[in-house]
Amino acid sequence: MAYVSHLKCSKCNTEYDLSKYPLLCTTPNCNARIDVFYNYSNLQEVLSKKILSKRPLSVWSYFELLPVSNRKNIVSLGEGGTPLLRSERLAKVLGVRELYIKDETRNPTWSFKDRPMTVGVSKAKEQGTDTLASASSGNAAAALAAYCARAGFTCFCFVPDIAPMGKIAQLILYGAKVVRLRGLHKGDDPTVKLLREACATYGWTPCPSFGPFNPYQAEGPKTLAYEIIQQLDWTVPDVAYVQVGAGGLLGGQWRGFTDFLTLDLVKQRPRMLAVQATGCPPLVRAFETNQDPFKITPCESPKSVAEGLCDPFPWDGDLALTAVRESKGTAIAVSDESILKAQDLLAKYEGIFAEPTGVTGLAGLIDQLESGAQDPSETILIEATGGGLKDQDIVIERISAPPVIDPDLAQLQAALDLQK
């Protein structure tokens, strides 16, 4: 980790030896995330707009800002470099001047989770570990399984019993050993409970998309912000709407925007809008009631069509909540109906088929526009974070089957009410 300066617990400030590959804070009763810090003065000597502009966009284009020491240890499937699309039709429908969509459905396993998992698996390879485990509703587990398959590693995945079978099938095909767990409704995440116990018992390396269990994978989402800045010609949007489950996506991007500000590659950071489902809004409640970032009250009975956001406890909520507050943003919750409406609009007007979890930020934008809280003249960013094919059942339930006819023009005319 040539440009990493130190590792420090985000809560108790205990520092850790860079060479020891620490994963968990060992201070009694802490259980917080170990954060990775970088030597920015050294980075300024090797990173500039000119240098970065010559590199193809990808997660590993920002190698110096990631916690892997040797490029030979990178385990990659070509992640990152996803399109930033300037909306025309949807922007017009919503009545906004400038709307950008970061399409993360184009990643190798069709979600943004490939960003943290390529880093987590690469770091594991560097440290000589070859058995990894995850607690996930589906996308992070699928990404970990894919990168473990690429590296030849063993992968164990603990998923909640509400996870869609489409997602589970994907990670099984990658060769992961999968179990589904009951009990998500009880306010405690059973997948995390078993992950913690199994890793301690069998010596597996935990690699969920939660910072407190693996600080290295948590660096991956930063690269989203780096790419957005370059794709906007070294500027930032005024506001970013980001869906929140555990909080790593929003918090990680805030770190990315902060990195480029510190390196003097941009002059400001965007306002961060955290969006959760009304069926699981612990971060929203924490924001509204001014809770301590390290003492967020869990959601007792998480339930939403955006099942990927049904984290009873936002494990990186401290990072996300701090980002919202520092950026003078806000946190809002949206209904399942609003999420499904956003899914329909994104597909119909922009040709992007995203799962409900992946469009919750757009649902938040629509909510804020309708309430008058969002200035339509601002430059707005939303992110489609997961592909719709991962959760087809929710769409199939809402559509009517197309008519079946013979290859006859008269039948076609009748079926589709066509006029000659």
Check residue 390 and give its pLDDT.
Answer: 83
Say how many C-beta atoms besides its own lie within 10 A of residue 228's C-beta: 24
Cα dist. 235→53, 220, 392 in Å?
14, 21, 36
Strand-strand pairing, 98-103 and 84-86? antiparallel
* H helices present in 54-211, as ranges: 89-94, 114-127, 139-151, 165-173, 190-202
* 308 close to 386: Cβ distance less than 8 angstroms: yes
pTM across the whole model: 0.95
Strand-strand pairing, 131-135 and 98-103? unpaired
Specify the DSSP class assigned to residue 174.
Answer: T
d(CA 394, CA 305): 8
* 119 close to 216: Cβ distance less than 8 angstroms: yes
Residue % of the chain over a pLDDT of 70: 99
* 120 close to 216: Cβ distance less than 8 angstroms: yes
Residue spans of the domains in the chain: they are: 84-109+218-396
**What is the block-wise mean pLDDT of the chain (420 residues), using blocks of 10 residues?**
90 94 93 95 95 97 97 98 98 98 97 98 97 91 96 95 82 94 73 94 96 96 98 98 97 98 98 98 97 94 92 94 98 98 98 97 98 98 94 86 93 90
Strands (DSSP E) found in 142-268: 154-160, 177-181, 205-206, 239-243
Q: Which helix (H) or strand (E) holds 272?
A: strand 271-277
- Residue 350: both structure tokens together: 């922009």
84-109+218-396 CATH: 3.40.50.1100
- Residue 346: both structure tokens together: 């994104």
Q: What is the pLDDT of residues 243-297, one digit of tens each?
A: 999 999 999 999 999 999 999 999 999 999 999 999 999 999 999 999 999 999 9
